[in-house]
Structure 1
Amino acid sequence: QLATVRGSAVPSPYGGKVRQIQIDLDPQAMQSKRVSPDDVARALSQQNLVLSPGTEKIGSFEYNVKINDSPDEFTLLNNLPIKNVGGVTIFIHDVAHVRDGFPPQINVVRDDGRRSVLMTILKNGATSTLDIIQGTKELIPKLKETLPNNLVLKVVGDQSIFVKSAISGVVREGTIAGILTSVMILLFLGSWRSTIIISMSIPLAILSAIIFLSLTGNTLNVMTLGGLALAVGMLVDDATVVIENINHHLEMGKPTTKAIIDAARQIIQPALVSTLSICIVFVPMFSLTGVPRYLFIPMAEAVIFGMLSSFVLSQTFVPTVANKLLKYQTQHFKHEHHTDAHRPEHDPNFKVHRSVKASIFQFFINIQQGFEKRFTKVRLVYRSILHFALDHRKKFITLFLGFVIVSCVTLFPLLGKNFFPEVDSGDMKIHIRVQVGTRIEETAKQFDLIENTIRRLVPQNELDTIVDNIGLSVSGINTAYSSTGTIGPQDGDILIHLNENHHPTKEYMKKLRETLPRAFPGVSFAFLPADITSQILNFGVPAPIDIRVDGPNHDNNLKFVRAILKDIRNVPGIADLRVQQATNYPQFNVDIDRSQAKNYGLTEGDITNSLVATLAGTSQVAPTFWLNNKNGVSYPIVIQMPQYKINSLADLANIPITTKESSSMQVLGGLGSIERDQSDSVISHYNIKPSFDIFASLQGRDLGSISGDIETIIQHHHQELPKGVSVKLQGQVPIMQDSYRGLSLGLVASIILIYFLVVVNFESWLDPFVIITALPAALAGIVWMLYLTGTTLSVPALTGAIMCMGVATANSILVISFARERLAIVKDSTQAALEAGYTRFRPVLMTASAMLIGMIPMALGLGDGGEQNAPLGRAVIGGLLLATIATLIFVPVVFSVVHANDTFEDEPEATGNL
């Protein structure tokens, strides 16, 4: 019934016992009656048939013909004759016992120590994870109605909890970012009317983006919502610039309508270029492949749709609402205008508040007035700094570029590289392998001791459930779905789920890694990816690092594996190092003397059939069924010798062997020799060739550094590589390297695209170059921020770097656009640069602050799954900080240098931005 949930894939259950009709052989009785297991199997397959002979037509009717080919009660199988020995008919009940039972259990599941059955539900297709889980939960009450009252059905693992928490965390980050951005705008503009206009554009832009995401087949998930949360600070950029420019024109004493039209017309082209410069940097990301593509393309689309919607709203919605809300300010600006943005003490709205005897409003008025006074002082200080830099242009440019280059060259190698940040989902999954060949009953005992140790190390109030899954599942389908590396009864997994308010999972992983190997020598422990994100990134491999050795010769492969394993074990930061394929599984070799067997009329087939029936049962080689007419269910009938009756080498040697033609009997030990040996527990192949896998995880060090050391070791042993043997580093490493190459090319491509975009709009090759001179500073800021926060370079961080290129360019466009206007008027590049920086100081600082504040919640990565996007937010913040400084100081200085020798006509041509 669980498989009926849309989008779900339900493998066979883990653990439990499957009902079947068991025929337990008695070795002593078979020897005394001179009957072999193969005799019993042949008799059962010939006399227990679930077949219809057909129909017979007699007269006007057609009759079904039924024969007593299968008994109505399974106990009647005891009365089936096997063979005639010395004139005596031997029945099944003479040498075996028929019972309602189950096969020997090879897979044990326990939930907090209690024997259980585990059902895993996987996602199949494009259906939402949340929809699948919700559909399953709705089905559970119906399932309980059909189950015995004493059977407990409960959910022990639920990915929707993490997904919902991650989504709610992203929404919370976006909301906080929106509120902080609005407060910042209020402080800068000092007008609640302007703040309301800008704040209203945020939800409208987000709603428009959601509509376009839906039309393009995207869903609301962590990545699309993360893109919208990331864009909150940028969504106010266009509206802020328009409102600030409207206020600037109102200060000139223009009527409201004319001020709005002039302001919108003046700003539309540079605003469009700024918006496109942010959007265009995401274009190279569409060339990504693999997991990064599916993760970051939806985020890129969310940002692009949001930014384009924001621009459209800034040119339509914002002027319309401004015409209604800002008309009360027009009269004031006719009588008194100033070069700064309007001061709150002159705003009639604030005068009304001043007349209200409410201290809370006066309190906020005082805060804004104090902020405005301090901002004016900061602006004057900035003017002095810019003036000084313009007076010492060559020295300043040299020092600034030197700082940028030294920062990048020095700090970049110290960052380290990871594919994706680790996500703390509150789950741990430990793969455990006791001594190879250990029977499952003994493995389960070891798991009891290990589980008790875990409960001592993890506080009880932080521990939710512990689920053991020991041994191999009875279904090959489950083995195909599994990525844990279980290969026999000596293997198993322990899934530990922590409560919500738990300490960092990494701390417990480190503690368990240190304690468990010491407490259980000879037992190997490896932490597997427990959260859905890590499982996807590993591509089904149980570790982020997989060193695959393959070649035509099995022994040569193994020899090289052991050679490099010694050196890899000494690599700092390596953890859970192990070889997946075990080569020391205990084995008995039965060497049959074919000549002697032939003398007794026996063949290898006769001997093998009896061995299979004795040890493994006849379910695979001679399947037969008993049909229960009461419920219409067919149950397999399996002939097998109980394991407790064959628990020594002597018991194996005494297995009776016969032929169907003769009543004579021999025992296995009389037909050959039995010797102890070892063999491979599993044999892996890659492109037909035998292969071995060395798996490893990370602890306290980045993936890039560890993989670099491993590649050095492999290169060092290259001369020892046997002929035909190849070694390849698999897992996350090659995917990370491909992603880094793609994103690095995307970073370069984004700069080139931005340059050509600005060239087209400015109709100049020189000024666009001046604009992108802020980008090296952005790269230095990214490196500094990642270094200071201890954040490694990763795919999200590189994505943030690409995004930062567009964001850093947007403000430079506004500054240079105004500088070109002033240059045409004042005809002096230094004066034009100074006026551009001073005039655009407020809007640049406002838009940059809005972006920075909007990304702070994401950069903190506080919610579930927040670690995944935190490097992205940090990269953007770091890059934007230095890029803003470069925009306000370095870019104007470069502009003054580039245009220092310009000549001007009396009637200069119109610049490209107007």
Structure 2
Amino acid sequence: MYLYCVDAAVPVDGRGWLFMPMAEAIIFAMIASFILSRTLVPTMAKYMLAAQVAAHAHGPVAPKTIFGRFQKGFERKFEAFRQRYQELLKYLVATRKTFIPVFVMCSLASLGLLIFVGQDFFPEINSDAMAIHMRAPLGTRLSETGTVSQLVNDEIERTLPGQVESIVANCGLPFSSLNQAYIPTPTVGSQDCDLTVSLKDPDSPVAEYRKMIRKNLSEKFPGTQISFMPGDLTAKILNFGLPAPIDVQISGRNLADNFRFANRLAERLRHVTGLTDVSVQQPMTTPTLRVNTKRTYALGTGITEADVANNMLVSLSGSSQVGQVYWLDTKTGVSHLIDIQTPATFLQTMNDLETTPIDKGDGNPTGQAPQILGGLSKIVQTGTPGEVAHYNIMPVFDIYATNEGIDLGTVSREVSRIVDEVRPDLPRGSTLAVRGQAVTMNNAYVQLLGGLAMSILLVYLLIVVNFQSWLDPFIIITALPGALAGIAWSLFLTHTALSVPALTGAIMCMGTATANAILVVSFARERLEEHGDAIAAAIEAGFERIRPVLMTASAMIVGMLPMSISNSQNAPLGKAVMGGLLVATVATLLFVPCVFAMLHNRKKPTETTEQGEGA
């Protein structure tokens, strides 16, 4: 069990180890329980069971309390159950040549159910928060974006009547460029808004709410992009700062060709079943007015391009952008920044912009008439990049996408297939890569499954050392395929996708299943050494060890029951352990004795022949 728990700590791309606290807790708990079982438990048994031993010495005594009567009734029924189990085990051992291959085939066939359950990194849970990103048409003024966001808020409240606690809208770019670099949001301009929706019910079905909101908002606001970002803290951590679990990156210096390629690829990805909110993060067509100064004409008037730029900066952004001037209030002693700027109401048309006065900024000592912007420059309407992102220095375009209704593994495989198909059309000098949570999930799966296989091998070798046999440890681990089959059935019947918690539960289930199989095989070895009959030893081992095997499995299953029905991301762990142990217990009590009888019964004629030759 110790070796299996060591494997439960999952490395994630050098960022840390998942389930490390749980693995450490189990390891130290197992060490403590081992020490106590060899010291405290025998001591307590000596003193606390003395009266019970004395009562048995005087013969059976009728129980006087309700607990005693319950115990007697339970023992009577359990003994009847053991007798029926012994009859079944005798029949299966007698037909072991048929039962063993059928059981193995059923176990291996059950693993095929994992194809239908799907794969996720971590399961999504119900919560009380949703994060929505809204992008109005490019170039929308901040005031208009705020109006649209208010209409979106009203529509969300109508879609979820009585369920919304509050909606916080954060529109436009942050004041500091540092905040823009560190916040995990797709905001690139005044047309973007981040909406944080708080729900009244902490166990709200956010997956169903997303479908309703996405459908209604797409119908009511056709020119606005709506995408859902990770809402709860765990989902944000798993995305490692990205606003979506799938990120297709096109890197290269050729921005124009890469942008066109990114839009063609995004259009193909929008037709993938289960893939939603597909969007190119970096826009290249943000409406921009480019002022091309007529340098020859401007120099004839004594105006330079720097003068044009400074005058526009003062008029559009304020004089504080050029030179900060403060006014001291002598009454309060507080200095106030003086900022002179053309009011927005005076900049409504192209003519208003073209009539912006331009001077040299020297106080006009010669008394020349000021020039106007339209006379010195030509204003051109064009599109420019709204954001230029880099990955390892190279410019990059990100295509973000989210899976909805279908597991992440299935969707990511389809995305990878499409990416491989379009890779030959990639502009020369550019690269194409898929990143995000899907890649991290695949790496975690490989590490978990590889660690599980290594743990099984180490456990097998450890048992070989203790049993001084290669055969009996093999018999012990034959119960593990049954455990894997039980895990597959439990996930399939509960409509739970395979995930890192489920794989961790599988590792824990392997440890308990191995421990139970050791109980049966070790007792069978003792009986075999005593009378030499492998078939009788197998039947006796199952009959005598059924109680501790059932107690161990039942305690684990009951302990995992609250976790399996809880609204937590560890629910698949509990389901995997419960389903795996149910079938593993059946395999330990029925399949393992049959394998023991078959393999050891084959050794008997050989040993007899060798003894006869020696005589």
TM-score bracket for this pair, using the shorter chain length: over 0.9
Aligned AA (1:642): P
Question: Structure 1 residue 575 and structure 2 residue 276: aligned?
Answer: yes
**How far did 1:522 drift?**
0.6
Question: Structure 1 residue 520 and structure 2 residue 225: aligned?
Answer: no
* Aligned residue number for residue 465 of structure 1: 166
Q: CA contact under 8 A between 1:750 and 1:805: conserved in structure 2? A: no
* Aligned residue number for residue 4 of structure 2: 281
Distance 1:738 1:885, change over 3 A: same
**How far did 1:319 drift?**
2.1
Question: Structure 1 residue 446 and structure 2 residue 148: aligned?
Answer: yes
**How far did 1:616 drift?**
1.5
* The 10-residue stretch of structure 1 (770-779 or 280-289) with the greater mean CA deviation from structure 2: 280-289
Question: Structure 1 residue 732 and structure 2 residue 437: aligned?
Answer: yes
**How far did 1:290 drift?**
4.4
Q: CA contact under 8 A between 1:746 and 1:802: conserved in structure 2? A: no
* Aligned residue number for residue 506 of structure 1: 207
Q: CA contact under 8 A between 2:134 and 2:225: conserved in structure 1? A: yes
Aligned 1:63-212 pairs, distance under 5 A: none
**Alignment counterpart, residue 607 of structure 1, candidates 283, 286, 308:** 308
Paired-residue identity, %:
45
Distance 1:607 1:537, change over 3 A: same
Question: Structure 1 residue 423 and structure 2 residue 125: aligned?
Answer: yes
Deviations 1:460-498 (A, max 9, x none): 2x3211111111121223223311211111110111111
Aligned AA (2:456): I
**How far did 1:772 drift?**
0.6
Aligned counterparts of 1:380 and 1:457: Cα–Cα separation in 2: 61
Aligned counterparts of 2:291 and 2:147: Cα–Cα separation in 1: 31
* Aligned residue number for residue 83 of structure 2: 380
Aligned counterparts of 1:854 and 1:770: Cα–Cα separation in 2: 28
Aligned counterparts of 1:626 and 1:281: Cα–Cα separation in 2: 72
**How far did 1:625 drift?**
4.0
1:745 is paired with a residue of what secondary structure? helix
Question: Structure 1 residue 403 and structure 2 residue 106: aligned?
Answer: yes
Aligned counterparts of 1:827 and 1:685: Cα–Cα separation in 2: 73
Question: Structure 1 residue 677 and structure 2 residue 353: aligned?
Answer: no
Aligned AA (1:372): E
Aligned counterparts of 1:712 and 1:424: Cα–Cα separation in 2: 31
Gaps of 5+ in 1: 1-277, 337-345, 354-361, 909-914
Q: CA contact under 8 A between 1:329 and 1:347: conserved in structure 2? A: no
Aligned AA (1:319): P
**How far did 1:552 drift?**
1.8
Question: Structure 1 residue 650 and structure 2 residue 351: aligned?
Answer: yes
Distance 1:391 1:687, change over 3 A: same
* Aligned residue number for residue 23 of structure 2: 300
Question: Structure 1 residue 878 and structure 2 residue 579: aligned?
Answer: yes
**How far did 1:286 drift?**
4.6
Aligned counterparts of 2:321 and 2:542: Cα–Cα separation in 1: 83
Aligned 1:688-707 pairs, distance under 5 A: 688-707=393-412
2:120 is paired with a residue of what secondary structure? coil
Aligned counterparts of 1:897 and 1:724: Cα–Cα separation in 2: 64
* Aligned residue number for residue 48 of structure 2: 325
Deviations 1:537-562 (A, max 9, x none): 01111111111111120111112112
Aligned AA (2:566): G
Question: Structure 1 residue 618 and structure 2 residue 323: aligned?
Answer: no
Aligned counterparts of 2:407 and 2:215: Cα–Cα separation in 1: 19
Distance 1:629 1:331, change over 3 A: farther
The aligned length equals: 603
Q: CA contact under 8 A between 1:282 and 1:750: conserved in structure 2? A: no
Aligned counterparts of 2:10 and 2:179: Cα–Cα separation in 1: 35
Aligned counterparts of 2:223 and 2:517: Cα–Cα separation in 1: 63
Question: Structure 1 residue 334 and structure 2 residue 37: aligned?
Answer: no
Aligned counterparts of 1:347 and 1:769: Cα–Cα separation in 2: 45
* Structure number, greater radius of gyration: 1
Gaps of 5+ in 2: none
Aligned AA (2:149): F
**How far did 1:752 drift?**
0.7
* Aligned residue number for residue 114 of structure 2: 412
* Aligned residue number for residue 455 of structure 1: 157
**How far did 1:635 drift?**
4.2
Aligned counterparts of 2:396 and 2:505: Cα–Cα separation in 1: 39
**How far did 1:347 drift?**
6.4
* Aligned residue number for residue 721 of structure 1: 426
Aligned counterparts of 1:658 and 1:842: Cα–Cα separation in 2: 98
Deviations 1:513-536 (A, max 9, x none): 111110111111111111110110
Aligned counterparts of 1:575 and 1:599: Cα–Cα separation in 2: 57
Q: CA contact under 8 A between 1:292 and 1:739: conserved in structure 2? A: no
Aligned counterparts of 2:565 and 2:537: Cα–Cα separation in 1: 40
Question: Structure 1 residue 598 and structure 2 residue 299: aligned?
Answer: yes
* Aligned residue number for residue 550 of structure 1: 251
Aligned counterparts of 2:331 and 2:56: Cα–Cα separation in 1: 94
Aligned counterparts of 1:891 and 1:533: Cα–Cα separation in 2: 41
Distance 1:670 1:774, change over 3 A: same
Distance 1:368 1:620, change over 3 A: farther
Aligned counterparts of 1:577 and 1:809: Cα–Cα separation in 2: 46
Aligned AA (1:442): E
Q: CA contact under 8 A between 2:269 and 2:415: conserved in structure 1? A: yes
* The 10-residue stretch of structure 1 (896-905 or 647-656) with the greater mean CA deviation from structure 2: 896-905
Distance 1:750 1:507, change over 3 A: same
**How far did 1:285 drift?**
4.1
* Aligned residue number for residue 777 of structure 1: 482
**How far did 1:624 drift?**
4.1
* Aligned residue number for residue 538 of structure 1: 239
Distance 1:693 1:816, change over 3 A: same
Question: Structure 1 residue 435 and structure 2 residue 133: aligned?
Answer: no
